[in-house]
Every structure is written in structure tokens, then in C-alpha cells.
Structure 1
Amino acid sequence: MTGQVRTVDGRVAGRRGQATRQKLLDCLREMLDTSPYRDVKVIDVARMAGTSPATFYQYFQDVESAILEIANDMAKDGQRLKALTEGQGWTGKGGYAAAEALVDGFLDFWREYEPILRVVDLASAEGDKRFYKVRQSILTAVTTGLTEAIEEVQAKGKAGDEVAPNAMAGTLVAMLAAVSGHQKGFETWKIKMKDVRPALSTLVFMGITGKKPPR
């Protein structure tokens, strides 16, 4: 952890305090792997971290505020998805490879952060603007990057202009997020993710270029 970290009452945490705070966050994230977030209690997080509830409350107001800290860090890491839309040719075999990389990026990101994204999605659906903002910061950045990519392809005359770039980009990003969040569901349908990957890559490539992927 870098930079100044403050306690709930505004004091600057020292190195030891920062380490304790990070351990609490790590334990909370581990607990979310196996428990619904509403079942996670402060006393359980503190016990796992080898400290007390009083120490937890020095750094966080409640479990939700601690989860929000994890979610905000996740959102910063989520900017790597936008990077996958930048500097790509998007046509021909290179374009299809870029589509595959974007698909892999989404699938990997959702697998890595599945417990946190589950909380973000639930809280967002319930109207919690804090978590909604986290989700939007990730998806909006990718949508912006993909919009610019589609505009560039259209400007070069390598794709038709039948659809608005931002509408296509938003649709593709929503699709990628929804499918990435449903990976375990595909398994129950007896659909293999190794088959979903090329299906997604094809749809992304066709959405950007309006053409079938190269053979």
C-alpha cells in the first residue's frame, strides 16, 4: 500500500497501521470467496486478521465501506481493459487477435474479481450509487476506448457506418460483462468456456468491422 492512509477519525496511519488495514482487507476479500457479503461480520474479519473489532472500526465504518475500498482498487485495475482497445488495427487477422485479447481480458478480470463484482452488481441493482459508480467507471472506460476504435475503423473506410460507434461499443461491452459474469452458469448448461471464447471474439470482431473474421 502506498500513499497516506487515514483512520476513520482522520489520523494518518503509520506503516504498522497500514499493514493492519491491508490485512483486514485481504481477509475480507478471502471471506467473500465463500460467503454472501451480508453474512460477513466485522468480528469474523477481525478474528481472521488476528486483531479486534475495535481495530477494524479504526479504519472502516462497516463491512460495506471496507468492501467499497476493495472495489475501488479493483476499478483502478479495471483500466487494463480499456488498454486492450487502444493501438489495435482491428482489421484482418490482427484485428481478430485484438478481439480475442479483449475477450480474454474480460473473462480473466471477472474470474479474478468475481466475489467483489458480485457485491458490486447486487449493491448497484439495489440503488447504492457508490457501487454503481465503481461498475460504471470500469465499463465506461472500455466503452469509450472501443467507441474510438470503431470510429477509427469507420474513418478509414474499413467498416460501414450503419450503426453509431458508441451504441455498438456499449452493446459489445454490456455483452462482454454479462457473459463474463455468467461463466459458472455456462458450465451448468454444459457449454464449455473454450467454445464461448471464439463465439465472443467473433461477435466483437463483427461488431467493430461489420465483417466475418478472417479464416
Structure 2
Amino acid sequence: MTGQVRTVDGRVAGRRGQATRQKLLDCLREMLDTSPYRDVKVIDVARMAGTSPATFYQYFQDVESAILEIANDMAKDGQRLKALTEDQGWTGKGGYAAAEALVDGFLEFWREYEPILRVVDLASAEGDKRFYKVRQSILTAVTTGLTEAIEEVQAKGKTGDEVAPNAMAGTLVAMLAAVSGHQKGFETWKIKMKDVRPALSTLVFMGITGKKPPR
């Protein structure tokens, strides 16, 4: 944890206070792995962290505000997805490898943060602007990166300009996010993720280049 950490009443937390705060966040995240977030209570988080509800309320107003802290940290880490769109040669075999890397990045990110993303998606759908902002900060960054990639491919004349780059980029990112969030669902359809991966990579490559992947 870097920088100053303040309590709800504005006091700067010391090293021990920062450690307690982080332990509360870690326990909360662990509980979200197995419980719907509305079933998670302050007293349960505090008990798991070996402290009291009063201590929890020193650092967070409620469970949702604590989840938001975790979500904001997740959003910062989500910038790694945008990095997968940068400085790539999107044509030929190298381009297909770049598409695979982007797909793998999305699938891995959603697996790592699935409990938090579940809350973010639900709260966003219910109109909570705080969580909507978190979600958009991740997806907008990737959309911007892919838009620039498609513009570059079009500028080099390696594909047609029938499709608006930002529209294609937004469509691809929405698809990647939706599929990544549905990984467990594919299992119920008896679809293996090892088969979903090349399907996604093909669609990403074709969306960017307008061409079939190289054999």
C-alpha cells in the first residue's frame, strides 16, 4: 500500500492501521469468492479479520464502499489489458498471436477478479455510477487502444475502411468482456474454454484486419 491512507474521519492511518485496513479488504475479497455481496455483513468481515465492526467503520462507511476500494485497485491493474493493444503488428501470424494474447489477457483478468467484477457489473446495471465508472475505466482504455490499432491497419491500406474503427473496437471489447464473464456458463453448455479461445482470437483478428487468420 502506497501513499497516505486516511480513516473515515480524515485522520492519517499509521502503519498498523494501514495493515488492519488491508487485512479487512483481503478478508472481504475472500468472502466474496463464496458469498453474494449482499449477504456479506460488516460483523462477518471484522470477525474474519480478527477485529471489531467498530474498527471496520474507522476505514469504510459500509461494505459497498470497501468493495469499491478493491474495485478501484482492480481498475488500475486493468490497464494491463490496454497494454496488450499497443505496439503490435496486427497483420499476419504476428497479428494473430497478438489477438491470442489479448484474448488470454481478458480471460485471465476475469478469472482473477471474477467476484469483484460480478459486483461491479451488478451495481452498474442497477445504476450505481461509482461502479459504472470503474467498469468503464477498464473497458474504455482497451477500446481506445484497439481503435488506434484498427486506424493504423487501415492507414497502411492493409484492410478496407468499411467499418468505423471505434465501432469495431467497442464491439470487440464488449464481446471479450461478455465472454470472459461467462466462462463458467460455457461449462454448462458443454463447451470447452480451450475451444472458445481460438474462436475469440479469430473474431478479434478478423475485426481488426478484415481478413481470415493465417494458417
Which of the five TM-score ranges fits, normalised by the shorter chain? over 0.9
1:146 Cα deviation from its structure 2 partner: 0.3
Query: Deviations for 1:106-154, whole angstroms, at most 9, x for unmatched residues?
Result: 0000000000000000000000000000000000000000000000000
Other structure's SS at 1:197 match: helix
1:193 Cα deviation from its structure 2 partner: 0.1
Structure 2 CA distance for aligned equivalents of residues 127 and 78 of structure 1: 22
Structure 1 CA distance for aligned equivalents of residues 44 and 105 of structure 2: 33
Counterpart of 1:108 in structure 2 is 108
Structure 1 CA distance for aligned equivalents of residues 123 and 157 of structure 2: 43
Query: Deviations for 1:31-53, whole angstroms, at most 9, x for unmatched residues?
Result: 00000000000000000000000
Counterpart of 1:122 in structure 2 is 122
Query: Deviations for 1:153-193, whole angstroms, at most 9, x for unmatched residues?
Result: 00001111000000000000000000000000000000000
Structure 1 CA distance for aligned equivalents of residues 210 and 163 of structure 2: 10
Other structure's SS at 1:204 match: helix
1:92 Cα deviation from its structure 2 partner: 0.1
Q: What runs of 5+ residues in structure 1 fail to find an aligned partner?
A: none
- Please give the TM-score of this superposition, normalised by the length of structure 1: 1.00
Structure 2 CA distance for aligned equivalents of residues 22 and 196 of structure 1: 36
Structure 2 CA distance for aligned equivalents of residues 49 and 160 of structure 1: 57
Other structure's SS at 1:152 match: helix
Structure 1 CA distance for aligned equivalents of residues 178 and 113 of structure 2: 14
Q: What runs of 5+ residues in structure 2 fail to find an aligned partner?
A: none
Other structure's SS at 2:70 match: helix
User: Structure 1 vs Structure 2: percent identity of aligned residues?
Assistant: 99
Structure 1 CA distance for aligned equivalents of residues 73 and 3 of structure 2: 14
Structure 1 CA distance for aligned equivalents of residues 158 and 19 of structure 2: 52
Other structure's SS at 2:3 match: coil
Structure 1 CA distance for aligned equivalents of residues 210 and 32 of structure 2: 41
Structure 2 CA distance for aligned equivalents of residues 193 and 159 of structure 1: 30
Query: Deviations for 1:24-80, whole angstroms, at most 9, x for unmatched residues?
Result: 000000000000000000000000000000000000000000000000000000000
Counterpart of 2:169 in structure 1 is 169
Other structure's SS at 1:144 match: helix
Stretches of 4+ aligned residues off by more than 2 angstroms: none
Aligned residues: 215
Other structure's SS at 1:160 match: coil
Query: Deviations for 1:74-120, whole angstroms, at most 9, x for unmatched residues?
Result: 00000000000000000000000000000000000000000000000
Structure 2 CA distance for aligned equivalents of residues 14 and 147 of structure 1: 44
Other structure's SS at 1:90 match: coil
Counterpart of 1:156 in structure 2 is 156
- Please give the TM-score of this superposition, normalised by the length of structure 2: 1.00
Structure 1 CA distance for aligned equivalents of residues 187 and 90 of structure 2: 30
